[in-house]
Structure 1
């Protein structure tokens, strides 16, 4: 046997069970047309919540509104996660208190981004990647994606 063995030749000599072992060790599935399990699974609640928030682009801000047509900041996150099958409390501070706190280095798409001042959380958005969030910023504005503009942020993962 040479070091440059032909893969079909190996498969014909080793059988299906050994082929699956080779695939597991080498990190790829050798059967054409079969998607890896992670790609075939439904999106995680965080990704679904992010997609719901993005779908509300242009919806007007309204203080105290929780959707489906108008939102304040925590109303948008509450609505998006509710559509993803998760329950959040009403205010940004309460949402922060309920999430698992994570570092900036550990943040992922769909995590919540909490803006704070003096230890008090005053605004929340959904992390979209690339240092951007989806949020409903203030009166006179609409749901939109923006860069994170402050270093005074905490990150939380919905459980």
Structure 2
């Protein structure tokens, strides 16, 4: 019968603790901050707040009507005004929602887009209904309404999500 070297066993197990901690820290950041039962979401309020931001200038890193919005700042602000918490970045928002089929979209749901050159979500908007969504598009533009049926948005659509 072969004997196991105790120091070898200790060496093999010794990496588990740091690896486990690293995984917990990495994936713990993606845990939803707030998840409400769908029935408690005031979808009309979400749409009303979002629409009231139409014309607000785009600003990278922006998260208020006074200073401007980037896409995820607009979403976070809108949800906050409707009494719901969402994380700040598009990626965090993507990880915090329950993903749904696009055919199940309802006003107030989130829609995510990605560049075709990579698989990461890079843009988010709030669904309004009738294939329309509101978003903060890009530098030099303003919060506006776009149509999911437009070729550009169809090609870049990544996912739909509901809090």
Q: Under a length normalisation based on structure 2, what TM-score does the superposition of the two structures give?
A: 0.67
5 Å-filtered alignment, 1:58-97, equals 58-69=55-66, 70-97=68-95
Does the 8 Å CA contact 2:147/2:153 hold for their aligned counterparts? no
Equivalent-residue separation in structure 2 for 1:91 and 1:44 (angstroms)? 21
- Pick aligned residue for 1:107 from 90, 105, 108: 105
Displacement after TM superposition at 1:106 (Å)? 0.6
Equivalent-residue separation in structure 2 for 1:93 and 1:59 (angstroms)? 23
Equivalent-residue separation in structure 2 for 1:120 and 1:48 (angstroms)? 29
How many correspondences in the alignment?
A: 117
Structure 1: any 5+ residue segments left out of the alignment? 1-42
Match of 1:51 in 2: 48
Does the 8 Å CA contact 1:46/1:81 hold for their aligned counterparts? no
5 Å-filtered alignment, 1:131-150, equals 131-148=131-148, 149-150=152-153
SS at the partner of 1:134?
Answer: strand
Structure 2: any 5+ residue segments left out of the alignment? 1-39
Distance change (3 Å), C-alpha of 1:119 and 1:47:
farther
More helix by share: 2
Equivalent-residue separation in structure 1 for 2:44 and 2:97 (angstroms)? 16
Superposed CA RMSD: 1.7
SS at the partner of 1:105?
Answer: helix
Do structure 1's residue 127 and structure 2's residue 127 form an aligned pair?
yes
Displacement after TM superposition at 1:112 (Å)? 0.3
Give runs of ≥4 in structure 1 deviating > 4 Å.
none
Equivalent-residue separation in structure 1 for 2:135 and 2:119 (angstroms)? 21
Q: Under a length normalisation based on structure 1, what TM-score does the superposition of the two structures give?
A: 0.69
